[in-house]
Amino acid sequence: MLFTLSRGKSVTIQKGSRLPLEVWCDYTTCMTKDEEIAHLRHENETLREGLKQALLAIDFLQARVQDLEQQQAKDSHNSHLPPSSDRFVRPPKSLRQKSGKQPGGQPGHRGHSLQQVEVPDEILVHPVENCEQCQQDLREQPATYPERRQVLELPEKRLWVREHRVQEKCCPRCAHVTRARFPSEVSAPAQYGRGIASLAVYLVEGQAVPYARASQLLADVLGVQLSAGSIARFVEQCHAQLAPIEDQLKTALHTSALLHHDETPMRVGRDHRWVHVTASERLTHYAAHPKRGGEALDAIGILPGFEGTAVHAGWTPYQGYGCQHALCNVHHLRELTFVEEDLQQPWAGQMKALLLEMKAAVEQAKAAGHHALEVLALGRFHRRYEALLAEGYLANPPPVPPKKTHGGRTKQHPARNLLDRLSTYKWQVLAFLLDFRVPFSNNQAERDLRMLKVQQKVSGGFRTDQGLTRFCRIRSYLSTLRKQGLPLLSALHHTLAGHPIFPAF
């Protein structure tokens, strides 16, 4: 747009840009009053619209900054994040309180000191040759043995080589030559026995040692030159032999009264899979699946039709099954810690103290031999619980819906999300208070998953889906045996022989 000033000078102004002061002053002198009012109104509307957009941007950025600050404030002590994700800005604080006990074994604890064996493998006699006082020769004198001491040590010859020889005889009657047969497990001129194979499987599947390092360990400790491929073959054999045990394990878990559920991601190549654990105090089952939700749970086949109580952390797909549910309250304690410490809301600290008080009351009742709390005590706990929920809702009103709806629901404050869960699933939160068989937390499943994270930390994951599937089945077997106090190496030895030891289902 071209403007001609009163002094004869022309100035070109782009459309939509603001006029320079000298142009404005000169230009306004050429406008009528109505034109000037219309121009001012237009500029006023433009400024108002710009201010409105700026305020909206400020509100959005403030909400974004608040979300990022809340994310930065979360770690393993106030959220579901694992300790490995903790940052260095805040030392994690444990939810455990001081018990007042002295370090070490407590009164009544049975010690496990090293004991002597009755029949040693080797006896070394330290003789007396001379009298220590007069130097008289005592070599021919009879001796007694007033004291003995034992040293437990690895044998010098670490490999035991057993050679198999077959006889061959000629019949004097018909002159036919008959040769004996080797045992079915002896199929090569030189091979490793089941003891070495079971140890190799135990190292990679039970102790999360990578294949290459397990091969190196066996070479350094036992002098066994076992390749990673041979170890993989032993693992495959063990996996195949444990198929019927896995079927019975899933059936036993399906008919249990109480189950713990959890899941964790595992890397497979460049992708990731979800490992689901279903566990009780004496049984453990792992299963890998590309999905985390209901599709995976249906494919595993334990939870569909389950009629007992499922303890979990509140993952929504679990709620789609018709069994009884109990939520992990340790997760609630962590989230309440975040609301109390970082959001400065006192009701959260009081709710955390109430849950711990309920837990202590249940433990005291169990110790006294009771099977339930008194009705009056339950009523008092329930009233306090409802009062704290009401106080929390007053401190966290519902979000104001935007003027223009774009579908979906309005994002809520994290404290209100926690309140909704504590209110909607109240009886699942308090299941431990009503049924003493239900635990306060889902710690059993989290303990059973911990070794899988060690596996990922040490080995970095799995190369193939087959490797993860084999790991899950063998790990299920070993975890179940360990819970029941059965020897793992002996069980693996029998498994590789085709006769696995069945745990108690």
**Segments making up each domain of the chain, as ranges:** 2-60
**326 DSSP β-pair partners:** 311
For residue 272, the cross-strand partners are 267
Can you read off the two tokens belonging to residue 142? 């009879």
- What's the pTM? 0.75
3-state secondary structure of 178: strand
At a CB cut-off of 8 Å and minimum separation 6, what does 323 contact? 303, 306, 307, 308, 309, 310
| Length of the chain, in residues | 505
Cβ–Cβ contacts within 10 Å for residue 462, how many? 20
Using the Cα atoms of residue 190, residue 195, residue 196 and residue 201 in order, give the sign of their dihedral: positive
Q: How far is CA 472 from CA 155, 254, 285, 316, 486, in A?
A: 34, 18, 8, 24, 19
Number of C-beta neighbours around residue 343 at 10 A: 15
pLDDT confidence of residue 104: 67
φ/ψ of 52, rounded to 5, equals -60, -45
CA distance 433 to 427: 9
Q: Which residue, chain included where needed, has tokens 């070599």?
A: 139
* Apex 471 CA angle, 467 and 475, nearest 5: 175
Q: Which of 42, 6, 51, 41 is nearest to 24 (CA)?
A: 6
The tens digit of pLDDT for each residue in 444-466 reads 999 999 988 888 888 888 889 99
225-to-37, 202, 229, 431 alpha-carbon distances in Å: 96, 17, 12, 55
Question: What dihedral angle (degrees, nearest 10) is formed by the CA atoms of 41, 46, 52, 58?
Answer: -140
Q: What is the reported pLDDT for 2?
A: 46
Distance (Å, whole) CA 440 – CA 432: 6
Q: What is the pLDDT of residue 25?
A: 53
Residue 215, both tokens: 């091969």
Cα separation of 168 and 178, whole Å? 6
What tokens does 260 get?
């713990």
H/E stretch holding 276 reads strand 271-279
What is the DSSP secondary structure assignment for residue 130, as one 8-state letter? B
pLDDT of res. 31: 67
Identify the DSSP state of 397: P
pLDDT for the residue numbered 393: 94
Cα–Cα dist 429/445, whole Å: 17
Question: Torsion angle, CA of 13/18/23/29, rounded to 10 degrees?
Answer: 120
Residue type, 286: Y
Do 204 and 214 form a contact (C-beta atoms < 8 A)? yes
Q: For strand 258-268 and strand 309-312, is the pairing parallel, antiparallel, or unpaired?
A: parallel
Residues in the chain, pLDDT under 70: 1-31, 73-100, 104-105, 111, 157, 402-409
* DSSP code string of 423-481: HHTHHHHTHHHH-TTS-SS-HHHHHHHHHHHHHHHHH-SBSSHHHHHHHHHHHHHHHHH
Token pair in block for residue 190: 């030189």
Tokens of 114: 């090293």
Please name every residue paired with 15 in a beta bridge, in sequence order, or none if there are none: none
Name the amino acid, one letter, at 455. Q
Burial 177-205 (b: 16+ CB within 10 A, else e): eeeeeeeeeeeeeeebebbbbbbbbbbbb
DSSP letter at 239 equals H
Residues 22-41: tens digit of each pLDDT: 555 555 555 677 877 888 88
**What CA–CA distance (Å, rounded) separates 400 from 173?**
106
What whole-number distance in Å separates Cα of residue 494 and Cα of residue 501?
7
**Neighbouring residues of 218: CB distance < 8 A, sequence distance ≥ 6:** 196, 199, 200, 203, 224, 226
Q: Which of 243, 219, 246 is nearest to 230 (CA)?
A: 219
